[in-house]
Structure 1
């Protein structure tokens, strides 16, 4: 080993000081003269700061093929370092551990007691750090150039890279795919500056930082941040006396505006799988004017008790200014039914017929194998009978075929809530054609692409925002298509020409189908205002189906059909259209054009519970300005990136601009956020925690028995399709 000190004359040709002709040239130190070239260390080398010395040592190690570390230094009383020593990463030896004999597969050694180092000392006269001693002979193999990017000291996730990584993670891109994408963008794996492990560590540190005070504090801070960015964002936390968050409800400006326009029929679904804390997840959804799923709010509940549902429904109505839906569909939960009777007494409560039918199939499968098709007969009771007496008679016949006490008890239980699922009782209810929460089953399939039960509450809520944005973007796409494309009309008649301009394409398609059906209907006048309308089978030329009675009032141009389709769905039925055609009415009376189904359903401004006009996307202008600035900056960067001098000029200009902006707005990292809603009931944030879920600990909903069967084993046509809502 050859040791060099400043008090000894330097050797004439020290092999450890003067690089060989093949020694790689070390990259220049950042912010130093571009013309300065760094070679192997030598005595008397000067550095303005310790950071500059460390950067040189790190770059030198990367060019030669070894990792480096900071060892130790000496300070003055004013905390200024007077000397510092940098070493090779293989310096020293691993300490002995008394538990080594218990290790079955010991880790490989990484320390070889390498003596390579660089020591600098502060000279008072020039106030520069000078190299006073060093050693460059290693006692271990050096890395090949193609592997130097894997050396720990050569890897670093910069702040810009961290922003890209977090942005990719929030977009649902997996870490390995993110690393591959950013590597290609940087010019290869060796150019990106960090490995997949560094990327995962960056994500881990971000989550640890967010959760350092617990999930409860993290979620309240996230909501407070959202509220500071968008004044129309509303959130509620149910805080117990023990400073535990038991339930959470939140919604943004888009959801508030959507509920004001389309909140006449609501689906509250709690069947989606939960999160890492095993909390239940409930969504309030409905149909917009395109008959697409629109979100009204979301809730996280520690349990599915009556108290939890009461709190959620009460806060939901408060957030939406007390407006109650006309109809709400839920799962068959006793706690939900009891709560709705108290919180929304005037709202019609409907049950999910899809889930009821699945339970029926499962319960009576054994009887079906014996030739007794109870599930088929029960399906008729659900959908086929319009008259209450016919329904009661069918139920009696079904019960007569049952012998098992458990089966009879189940039928009796279901029969007790018949008004919530039987067609004969629901035919007069305003449902938009929905007979179950199966409309939200497709929404659940969307959720599965973004959410999973391994996410903590904070990340769960963040990822749910992607779902909200996706639904919003889908609605915008439908708006674009509506103005870009014109639906095909089967017949060029005035009534279709008019409704094509009024209705959205999906609703016009449903209306046009009703008009086409009216062409094959027969009509018979009973008296001056009453007509009997029935359908004819064109192939057999015979009447089919039940005749409907239609009452038409010429004075006020009102029409009512006994099928009650307009009262349920909001569009006129084929029977009513047949009467209008007979009466030579070419334009639909305005009262029968529901605004919620029209193209201008969103034209009116919405006012929230505080009397403010709701801005659905409060960050839209800010995002547009950000995009404009990026578009202006990108061409400049493309022009100068290959010229080091011009690149430094642009960088300095941007730094100068940033300093001036920070003088006006301050440092963004120093901004804080208030606590949002219900601040008067909130104790210091750090004392909050999430309430632990009691009882069932499963993290996913219990699937229906036939959801796990293959398609070929699923039930025949009697089974309700979950892909499309039933329109009847």
Structure 2
């Protein structure tokens, strides 16, 4: 049915009569907006957190493999929330040897960090293994998250975890996945090298040390020469990176299956896509349903 000649400020509803005629029932755009807002509030009656948990519980009735875990704060508010559906769990069992995750900041009305777990399948396509909304980014919070992730994923631990090097993530990975190799994102290291040393020539040499497929003995020789050339023997940032070389230097990671993950660029790509349909006005229920509708469906 096409309605002609209606002013833009007025939307007209139509009811079909028994004789086939139409009876116009007028209502303003404001009436429509109010109706939509009342409907939205009705969905979250009893609290946004309760509505979200109820929604995820209902999903589990349709998908027995779907699971959600959450924690509460001392004030009896929602602390952390993690959820994954059956397909994500199945994908993780097949392709979860390498796990990458990152944080998208403040893309909800509560300003809670959003974490998206991902990996790569046998076609080098990105797989989503689950989502989490966190209370904060502390070590204990990531420990809670990753231990629940491990439990939901039937105890399968990744062999390699790729992150940007956040200290809270580092603590959580050490506690939940003690046998996994924690690989640091090469892009973030290069960015830090630029901001800390501010010498393009050094940054180019540092990149060679990062990605050069050398024997560890050759890496040590090249690193020592680089440090001596630029006079960085006492530079704190350089010494810290050297101390954790086994987390970023290809020379020490060649025996690890990393599914070609050297950076968290896939995570960045996912986050950029999420930002096109998630915004800081969304409540938790809107966040969850939008993620499921745009990424999993």
Pick the TM interval, shorter chain.
0.7 to 0.9
Change (3 A) 1:375 1:147: closer
Confirm or deny that 1:435 pairs with 2:262.
Answer: yes
Write out per-residue CA displacement over residues 580-627 of structure 1, whole angstroms, 9 at most, x where no aligned residue: xxxxxxxxxxxxxxxxxxxxxxxxxxxxxxxxxxxxxxxxxxxxxxxx
Checking the alignment, whether the CA contact within 8 Å between 2:118 and 2:267 is kept in structure 1 is yes
Write out per-residue CA displacement over residues 692-714 of structure 1, whole angstroms, 9 at most, x where no aligned residue: xxxxxxxxxxxxxxxxxxxxxxx
Map of 1:294 onto structure 2: 127
Q: Cα distance, 1:345 vs. partner?
A: 1.3
Q: Cα distance, 1:257 vs. partner?
A: 1.1
Output the CA distance in 1 between the equivalents of 2:62 and 2:25. 33
Confirm or deny that 1:263 pairs with 2:96.
Answer: yes
Output the CA distance in 1 between the equivalents of 2:253 and 2:26. 64
**Count of paired positions:** 286
Q: Cα distance, 1:328 vs. partner?
A: 1.4
Checking the alignment, whether the CA contact within 8 Å between 1:232 and 1:252 is kept in structure 2 is yes
Map of 2:203 onto structure 1: 375
Q: Secondary structure at the match of 1:268?
A: strand
Change (3 A) 1:385 1:294: closer
TM-score, normalization: structure 2? Answer: 0.86
Q: Cα distance, 1:338 vs. partner?
A: 2.1
Write out per-residue CA displacement over residues 220-277 of structure 1, whole angstroms, 9 at most, x where no aligned residue: 2222222233322211111234312210000111111111111121112224553221
Q: Cα distance, 1:149 vs. partner?
A: 9.7
Q: Cα distance, 1:418 vs. partner?
A: 0.9
Q: Cα distance, 1:147 vs. partner?
A: 6.4
Q: Cα distance, 1:213 vs. partner?
A: 3.1
Q: Cα distance, 1:200 vs. partner?
A: 2.9
Picking from 46, 61, 71, the partner of 1:213 is 46
The runs of 5 or more residues in structure 2 that have no matched partner are 16-23
Report 1:304-315 matches (<5 A): 304-315=137-148
Picking from 375, 379, 389, the partner of 2:217 is 389
Change (3 A) 1:404 1:452: farther
Q: Cα distance, 1:377 vs. partner?
A: 1.0
Output the CA distance in 2 between the equivalents of 1:149 and 1:352. 52
Change (3 A) 1:361 1:196: farther
Picking from 460, 465, 469, the partner of 2:292 is 465
Q: Secondary structure at the match of 2:68?
A: strand
Map of 2:155 onto structure 1: 322
Q: Secondary structure at the match of 1:296?
A: strand
Checking the alignment, whether the CA contact within 8 Å between 1:419 and 1:425 is kept in structure 2 is yes
Checking the alignment, whether the CA contact within 8 Å between 2:105 and 2:111 is kept in structure 1 is no
Checking the alignment, whether the CA contact within 8 Å between 1:326 and 1:347 is kept in structure 2 is yes
Change (3 A) 1:348 1:201: same
Checking the alignment, whether the CA contact within 8 Å between 1:317 and 1:324 is kept in structure 2 is yes
Confirm or deny that 1:455 pairs with 2:288.
Answer: no
Checking the alignment, whether the CA contact within 8 Å between 2:143 and 2:176 is kept in structure 1 is yes
Map of 1:346 onto structure 2: 179
Q: Secondary structure at the match of 2:276?
A: helix
Checking the alignment, whether the CA contact within 8 Å between 1:157 and 1:199 is kept in structure 2 is no
Q: Cα distance, 1:446 vs. partner?
A: 2.1
Change (3 A) 1:411 1:230: same
Report 1:31-50 matches (<5 A): none
Q: Secondary structure at the match of 1:270?
A: strand
TM-score, normalization: structure 1? Answer: 0.37
Checking the alignment, whether the CA contact within 8 Å between 2:214 and 2:251 is kept in structure 1 is yes
Change (3 A) 1:297 1:148: closer
Change (3 A) 1:261 1:147: closer
Higher RCO structure, 1 or 2 (CA under 8 Å, sep 6+): 2
Map of 1:423 onto structure 2: 250
Output the CA distance in 1 between the equivalents of 2:210 and 2:186. 8
Q: Cα distance, 1:456 vs. partner?
A: 1.8
Q: Cα distance, 1:214 vs. partner?
A: 2.8
Output the CA distance in 2 between the equivalents of 1:333 and 1:149. 51
Query: Whose Rg is larger?
Result: 1
Output the CA distance in 2 between the equivalents of 1:157 and 1:320. 51
Report 1:3-152 matches (<5 A): none
Checking the alignment, whether the CA contact within 8 Å between 1:236 and 1:249 is kept in structure 2 is yes
The runs of 5 or more residues in structure 1 that have no matched partner are 1-145, 159-190, 471-728
Q: Cα distance, 1:320 vs. partner?
A: 1.2
Output the CA distance in 2 between the equivalents of 1:440 and 1:147. 47
Confirm or deny that 1:226 pairs with 2:59.
Answer: yes
Output the CA distance in 2 between the equivalents of 1:157 and 1:437. 52
Map of 1:409 onto structure 2: 236
Picking from 77, 91, 109, the partner of 1:244 is 77
Confirm or deny that 1:444 pairs with 2:271.
Answer: yes
Change (3 A) 1:271 1:378: farther
Q: Cα distance, 1:392 vs. partner?
A: 2.1
